[in-house]
Amino acid sequence: MNTTNEATRPAGTILFNTGFEGTTHLSAATGPYFHGHPEQYEDFRGNDPTVPAPNDWAWIAADPVLGTLRIYHEGGDESQRFARVVPDEADPTNRVLRFWIGEPNVAAREPAVLHPKSRVQAELYGNTGLRELYQSVRMRFHPDFALLKQYPHSFSWLTLAEFWNKPFWSEVSADAPMPFPFRISLGVKKLAAGPVNALYFGVESQIMASPPPDFQVAGIWHETNTDFAVPVGSWMTLDTYYREGDRDTGRFFCAVTPDSGPRRVLFDIHDWTYHPQNPAPDGLTHYNPIKLYTSAGIVEFLRHQGAALQVDWDDFALWSGRTPKEEGA
């Protein structure tokens, strides 16, 4: 559903936008084999005439800055997880992109995967010189998500978006790690063991302190916003902004606008947004604009209660040359 009025469309150059309407659909594909296992993808096809151009998925493939945007599962089949463009049950005239995980879909396999886990994500990989980016997307957690307030443990790993200024892996070989890996992960956190009253948004940046198979990470900065409880069962718009820079020039910004309330700035962090030892950062080469990635334990907890992990997405847009207003409005 396109809810943006052209008269109020924010400044900047729009790189791509879609409401997942029109002929938008997903087509299954198989990627390269890493560690002897085929990587499982789905490609976006079609276009959405309900929003202004660029609104055709083929356009991204031809863009000189943006890489390839597709869905990645890593493992499993549609009985365990899926990404689908479907009608919204609350408004069948509106189509949404649904991420659903009913059971852990990534089995442990050394040395790449040390423990079972759960993943459905969109990935925009192979970008060139993407040093600044503004993203907006509407999202809604399924009511089952509220059950996680009863999860017996605290958790900090439930990722909704991830920004890589150099990944730890190589596109050529999974056994040849890249230097200076750095990521920013935006997600949901449960701050205490036992039942809690609310879940919160959190963000953290990390470097890879040791390469595979150890996968040891070290934190650079992190924040959790405890002034705003994550809404469940209702739509909200999540805006994020990334600017490559050091402790003085880097910036990560995130704001949320629930359909039922005013816009709230969750994070406005001025700090490193690339590896501090990297002598020549080259932007967001790899980036997950929307993601559902977590432990096997969280998904199993929901499954044992007849529930699943589900997020719906809509009205996805990317800009260059747009920055958050100074007042965060």
Query: What residue ranges do the domains of the chain occupy?
Result: 15-320
Name every residue whose Cβ is closer than 8 Å to that of residue 49 and which is 6 or more positions away in sequence. Answer: 21, 22, 55
Q: Put residue 186 in one of left, alpha, beta given phi > 0 → left and psi -120 to 50 → alpha.
A: beta
Distance CA 314, CA 293 (A): 18
Q: How confident is the model at residue 216 (pLDDT cuts 50, 70, 90)?
A: confident
Between the two ends of the chain, the Cα-to-Cα distance in Å is 23
Render pLDDT for 1-38 as a digit per residue (tens, 0 to 9): 654 433 344 578 999 999 999 999 999 886 664 445 56
What is the pLDDT, as a whole number, of residue 177? 66
pTM: 0.91
Which fold does the domain 15-320 belong to in CATH? Answer: Jelly Rolls (2.60.120)
Distance CA 175, CA 221 (A): 28
Distance CA 87, CA 89 (A): 6
| CA angle in degrees (0–180, nearest 5) for 57-100-68 | 25
8-17, 59-68, 157-166: which has the minimum mean pLDDT? 8-17
Name every residue whose Cβ is closer than 8 Å to that of residue 306 and which is 6 or more positions away in sequence. Answer: none
How many residues are listed for the chain in this entry?
Answer: 329
What is the pLDDT, as a whole number, of residue 213? 57
Render pLDDT for 283-308 as a digit per residue (tens, 0 to 9): 999 999 999 999 999 999 999 999 99
Amino acid identity of 176?
A
Render pLDDT for 252-277 as a digit per residue (tens, 0 to 9): 999 999 999 999 999 999 999 999 99
The string of DSSP codes covering 127-160 is -SS--EEEEEEEEEE-GGGGGGGG-SS-B--EEE
Distance CA 2, CA 315 (A): 6
Amino acid identity of 71?
I
